[in-house]
Chains A and B, each alone.
Chain A
Amino acid sequence: MFEATDLNRRDARTQRLVRALFLLMTVLLAAPVLLILGVLLVKGGTMLSWDFLFTEPTNGMTAGGVLPALVGTVWLVAIALLASVPVGVAAAVYLSEYAPDNVLTRVINLAIINLAGVPSIVHALFGLGAFVIFFGFGTSILAASLTLAIMTLPVVIVATREALQAVPHAFREACWNMGATRWQTIWRVVLPNAVSGILTGVILEVSRTAGETAPIMFTGAAFFLPFLPASVFDQTMAMSLHLFVIATQVPDVPEALPYGVALVLIGMVLAMNALSIGLRTWLRQKKKW
């Protein structure tokens, strides 16, 4: 018969204690998300209405809605995606399907880690030096979007590479044996099986891009513009910068207004994230291999 000794009991006690402590730490780490959402909802919830979303700011941005900022964010995200998704997917295809295990591949991987790790304000400096001044795009949606695209490129690359590597190698071999070229295999077999995984990454990128402020401050986003952008060479307002501006730069803003703007911004971002997480969970469940 097994009889618990004092030592066993002490170990079990420590175990329970430690487990509870770690659970507490995890909860304390996760709780702020809900707290922040709660605070924003309580203080800014009254601002939310269709009018708020679809009218322009008035009275020196102390009243009215967020339409130009919302439209601007959509522009910025769309152009950034157009630029980064093809490059990111190509990079991931190279790393997953072509790259040999050599120094160059290591350098590429290191570059991707660093693209994600370089401070956003340094990306802003680069965008200003390269796109605004050197390539002569001026402060425009184009310059801001390209800056955002380079900054969020790692998100697409990493997600796509993971999706491609999740496709079993046997699929590729079967296709090669039919006499297909490498590209035919990738185009007809690998990519179709990875497309939803890639989509997960793209949605995550949308969420990241929409929330960024520093990279667009000096490259294309304006404090206030009374009109909507008409082309990629126009400046634009953006939700993230708009929140910064009315929270810090504009006097006499009614208290609820910045909370409302923050709520719309965080709502957009978290909705995208939830969509991405949901898609990933759904994919995992229906995975056949």
Chain B
Amino acid sequence: MSAPPPHPDTAALDRRDLAWYVDKLVAVLVFVGGVSAVVFIVGIFAFVTHEGWGFVSEHFSLRGFFGSIRWAPTSTSNPTYGALALIAGTASVTGLAMLVAVPFSLGAAIYIAEFATGRTREVLKVLVEMLAAIPSVVWGFIGLSVMNPLIIDVFNVPIGLCVLNSGLILGLMAAPIMTTIAEDALKAVPDTYREAAEALGATRWQVTRRVVLPAARQGLLAAVLLGVGRGFGETMAVLMASGHAINLPTSPFDSVRALTATIAAELGETAVGSTHYQALFALGIFLFVVTFVINLSADLIVRGIRKT
């Protein structure tokens, strides 16, 4: 094969008119828009690290930060920055939330995806979406003014702002995202799988348990991970409903204080650039890194499904 002869009038085919230039310009603009998300996430990490670096480089030690429960940044004689109790607070609240939210969300996702039909399905989906829409400060208020007296009455304890209260609320807050993503994962299982199993005489539940759930398990795991990330990072509801006491919890009725709530409660009272201020940003770095790892793992798991 030889090269085609040059076109007799190449200049006439050159469409470098206004529309061509606009097209090129827009291609650049939307590219900038696309990359902006990356710029922002890098920017968040950079700024939070920048503000918190003074603490990390001067006062940070693994044992002092992760091994001590003494978070006393305002102490005049000996300020200490032990985050263990805060981490335990966040972990206990998130843990209880997941204990509630995981079974209920997966159950709801299975019902919506595999059993419900028509109108019921739409109504349930809208209700779950509404649940996701309730602002976290309203959740916190409910914890403070409805759940608090309720827990005091029912369990006969002196205070109702505790792991149980904030865990239940956090569970309800994390449930919609888990339900939605789990439902997507179940929907992504091809119908041919279900048809094949049903043709063998399996009931709908047998199909779900033996075929759909195993096929969707990675997506379900990703759903749970994103729910954990959500619970871990929730701020206002935990601030208002957990009691905000620095404490290693031993029962669900203990008050605790979460990492996020600590930042929210103390940042307003610190001087910009002080060690306390930098320590709060260091908590922020920790929160960022943990949620980043959680989201990254969820993404890798989902990507794993698409590859196979």
Contact = CB atoms under 8 A, between A and B. Distances in A.
Given A22-B115, A211-B136, A258-B145, A93 B287 contact: no
Given A15-B204, A22-B107, A119 B233 contact: yes
A110 B172 CA distance: 26
A120 B239 CA distance: 13
Which secondary structure dominates chain B's binding surface? helix
Interface stretch (B47-55, B74-82, B247-255): B47-55
B135 A122 contact: no
A129 interface: yes
A129 B19 CA distance: 42
A214 B236 contact: yes
Interface in B112-157: 112, 115-116, 122, 124, 126-131, 133-138, 140-142, 144-146
A32 B168 CA distance: 11
A22 B134 contact: no
A121 B233 contact: yes
Contact of B127 (A30, A99, A212): A30
A14 B26 contact: no
A84 B175 CA distance: 27
Contacts of B103: 25
Nearest to B175: A29
Contact of A32 (B105, B131, B136, B236): B131
A33 interface: yes
Given A90-B29, A93-B33, A26 B44 contact: no
Given A29-B131, A122-B284, A95 B44 contact: no
A244 B240 contact: yes
11 contacts: A18-B205, A33-B127, A33-B130, A90-B33, A108-B37, A117-B226, A117-B233, A121-B233, A121-B264, A129-B48, A212-B136
Contacts of B32: 90
A133 B47 CA distance: 10
Interface string A262-275: 10011001100100
Given A121-B263, A125-B281, A115 B131 contact: no
A150 B263 contact: no
Contacts of B179: 29
Contacts of A145: none
Interface string A29-47: 1101110100100000000
Nearest to B115: A19
Contact of B299 (A113, A133, A241): A113
B175 A125 contact: no
A283 interface: no
Interface string B42-72: 1110011011000000000000000000000
Contacts of A88: 33
Given A113-B295, A121-B284, A184-B23, A29 B104 contact: yes
Contacts of A122: 44, 48, 233, 284, 287-288, 291
Contacts of A214: 136, 235-236, 260, 264
Contacts of B104: 25, 28-29
A10 to B, nearest CB: 10
A281 B50 CA distance: 46
A87 B23 contact: no
Interface string A208-234: 101111100110000000000000000
A182 B27 contact: yes
Interface string A86-120: 11111101110111000010011111111101111
